[in-house]
């Protein structure tokens, strides 16, 4: 587990789908009318956005980050053989958790958690719609979370994450905060810039 203060990192979130610049308008993505109102404000850059941490219209830093908690691990299975004293520990999958705590400045992440926790999926004609989480994911499933260390400039990219938890902290004497937790099972990529390649590991 690694814990960083917001002043030490920059955080960016994109979809895994490469055609999702406005992930939520019902006219563009054909989502269910019952959640169209909740998602009309969602604008999420696609995986191929070129300026993740730069200033400007195409940039995507998450604002007012107070802290971020990274947990990078793996799920093992113990296999015992008769006559052997030591069990085999076979890695089954990766297990990555990213918890972002930030000042609450709107209802964007409320809407994201309610209606678009699993990112986007392709339909016929490659038109993306919001993923319902009920079908087998492919390599464009979920979100990609990028964490840049300000001191070294290195970027850790966590592909194929879903938003698993959302909480709001209310305090009469302090600033209202919200916590977002993303979890994924693909191998993170560490590089000098945000990784934007299609993930080959499901």
Domains annotated on the chain, with CATH: 2-191 (2.30.110)
Q: Encoding tokens for residue 111?
A: 């809407």
Pairwise CA distance, residues 76 & 126, whole Å: 36
Three-state SS at 114: helix
25-75: per-residue pLDDT in tens?
433 333 444 444 445 556 677 777 777 777 665 667 788 899 999 999 988
Which residue did the predictor score with more confidence, 98 or 85?
A: 98
Which residue from 127, 164, 124, 123 is spatially nearest to 142, judged by alpha carbons?
164
Residue 91, number of CB atoms within 10 A of its CB: 9
């Amino acid at each position: 587990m690694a814990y960083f203060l917001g002043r030490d990192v920059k955080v960016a979130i994109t979809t895994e789908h490469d055609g999702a610049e406005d992930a939520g308008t019902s006219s563009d993505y054909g989502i269910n009318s019952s959640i169209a109102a909740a998602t009309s404000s969602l604008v999420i850059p696609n995986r191929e956005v070129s300026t993740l941490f730069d200033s400007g219209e195409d940039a995507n830093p998450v604002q007012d980050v107070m802290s971020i908690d990274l947990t990078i691990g793996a799920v093992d299975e113990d296999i015992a053989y008769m006559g052997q004293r030591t069990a085999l520990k076979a890695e089954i999958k990766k297990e990555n958790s990213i918890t972002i705590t930030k000042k609450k400045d709107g209802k964007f992440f409320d809407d994201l958690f309610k209606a678009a926790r699993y990112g986007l999926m392709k339909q016929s004609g490659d038109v993306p719609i919001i993923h319902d989480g009920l079908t087998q994911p492919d390599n464009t499933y979920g979100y990609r979370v990028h964490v840049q260390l300000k001191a070294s400039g290195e970027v850790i990219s966590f592909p194929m994450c879903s938003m698993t938890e959302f909480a709001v902290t209310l305090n009469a004497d302090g600033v209202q905060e919200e916590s977002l937790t993303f979890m994924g099972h693909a191998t993170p990529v560490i590089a000098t810039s945000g990784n934007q390649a299609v993930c080959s590991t499901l």
